[in-house]
């Protein structure tokens, strides 16, 4: 019997804590250490999930001999240092999306993993979400023909935006749909035109619209807003429409959500990405982390998402920021990572 992969989780914000719970629900992975700069939080999460060790520095976690693989779930600008160091120590690495906040940092992570011969997997969750994966499967089978147009919407509550002020929404939210569009259309983006707005007067925009023109002429229109009313039952409003020469596909998140109303609150709990029940088993996140752990066990590179895919998605996200800021089209050169 193959031993479970010993995993260390670096960064214990909201999503890092969810990583810990999801790993612990898998039969072929176990979290052996966590790290966060807030000692009290690191200790609490370790205690809650039966993790034997916690650290306040990722350097200590990486040096832990029981750690075979790490999840880097730090803020976007802080991915490079722990990911490169982990690879240099022979640890396999999963890095939450985006792979980095700059192309130089992304390239450094990819090159470090290549030098060390370790597995590097970007955490692009939607490739593991059943609705998106099913649409991709039908497109790959030729059922929709050549994709001509794609529309994706990813809207969230105003209050949630305050948790992500550290980065432009193109790197936090829109990048999900950038990756999905490139995955489904199967072509590189050659030109971008984008707009953003600061409707709440905050450090980063809270509304982004982008039009992507692909090398084969296909067009994708992406919308990301942090403007839904706080406390609304639908705190997430996601939609995907794909039109090809033979057929079309549609997905709308609210239609698949559970709405719950009690005297104390009304909400629509997550039932797709990382649900709270059964430690998230059957969720997109569990499937993603399971794929990573299996790749580590079998010593095979990930097949659902590659570092090159994540690098190209980051190039487009940064082009969106440039286009919206400079108020002009941005042309993207032929894909290449050097």
**Cα 238 to chain centroid, rounded:** 15
For the cut 60, the answer to whether the pLDDT of residue 278 exceeds it is no
Q: What pLDDT shows up at residue 66?
A: 98
Q: What is the mean pLDDT of residues 37-50?
A: 97
| pLDDT of amino acid 338 | 53
| Residue 298 confidence class, pLDDT cut points 50, 70, 90 | very high
pLDDT of 234 > 60? The answer is no
Q: Which CATH number does 127-277+314-331 carry?
A: 3.30.360.10
Question: What integer best gives the mean pLDDT of the chain?
Answer: 90
- Structural domain 5-118, CATH architecture: 3-Layer(aba) Sandwich (3.40)
Rg (alpha carbons) of the chain, rounded to whole number:
20
- For the chain, the domains span 5-118, 127-277+314-331
∠21-259-264 over CA atoms, to 5°?
A: 85
Going from the C-alpha of 329 to that of each of 153, 208, 307, 323, the distances in angstroms are 21, 15, 26, 6
Instruction: Check pLDDT > 60 for residue 4.
Output: yes
* Residue positions counted in the chain: 338
The tokens for 76 are: 């976007």
Per-residue pLDDT at 279 exceeds 60: no
Confidence tier at 200 by pLDDT (50, 70, 90): confident
Tell whether the model's pLDDT for residue 80 goes beyond 80. yes
Rounding to the nearest 10 degrees, give the CA dihedral for residues 332, 335, 337, 338.
-90
Lowest mean pLDDT among 42-46, 50-54, 244-248, 253-257: 253-257
Whole-number Å distance between alpha carbons of 305 and 95: 12
Please compute the mean of the pLDDT values over residues 237-265 and round it to a whole number. Answer: 78
Given a cut of 80, whether residue 62 has pLDDT beyond it is yes
């Amino acid at each position: 019997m193959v031993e479970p992969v010993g995993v260390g989780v670096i960064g214990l914000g909201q999503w890092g804590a969810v990583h810990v719970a999801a790993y612990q629900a898998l039969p072929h992975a176990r979290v052996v250490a966590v790290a966060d700069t807030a000692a009290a939080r690191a200790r609490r999460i370790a205690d809650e999930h039966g993790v034997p060790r916690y650290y306040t520095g990722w350097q200590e976690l990486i040096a832990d001999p029981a750690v075979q693989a790490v999840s880097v779930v730090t803020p976007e600008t802080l991915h490079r240092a722990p990911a490169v160091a982990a690879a240099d120590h022979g640890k396999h690495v999963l890095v939450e999306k985006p792979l980095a906040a700059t192309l130089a940092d992304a390239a450094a992570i990819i090159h470090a993993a290549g030098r060390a011969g370790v597995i590097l997997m970007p955490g692009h969750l939607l490739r593991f979400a059943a609705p998106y994966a099913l649409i991709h499967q039908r497109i790959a089978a030729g059922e929709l023909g050549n994709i001509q147009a794609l529309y994706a919407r990813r809207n969230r509550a105003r209050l949630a935006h305050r948790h992500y002020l550290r980065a432009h929404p193109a790197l936090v939210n829109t990048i999900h749909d950038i990756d999905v569009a490139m995955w489904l259309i199967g072509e590189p983006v050659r030109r971008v035109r984008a707009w953003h707005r600061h409707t709440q007067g905050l450090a980063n925009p809270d509304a982004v619209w982008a039009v992507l023109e692909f090398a084969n002429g296909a067009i994708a229109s992406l919308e990301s807003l942090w403007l839904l009313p706080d406390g609304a039952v639908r705190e997430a409003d996601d939609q995907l429409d794909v039109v090809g020469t033979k057929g079309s596909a549609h997905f709308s998140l609210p239609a698949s959500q559970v709405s719950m109303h009690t005297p104390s609150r009304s909400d629509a709990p997550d039932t797709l990405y990382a649900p709270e029940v059964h430690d998230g088993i059957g969720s997109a996140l569990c499937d993603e982390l399971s794929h990573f752990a299996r790749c580590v066990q079998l010593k095979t590179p990930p097949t659902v998402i590659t570092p090159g895919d994540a690098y190209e998605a980051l190039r487009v996200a940064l082009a969106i920021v440039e286009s919206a800021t400079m108020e002009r089209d941005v042309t993207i050169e032929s894909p290449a990572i050097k």
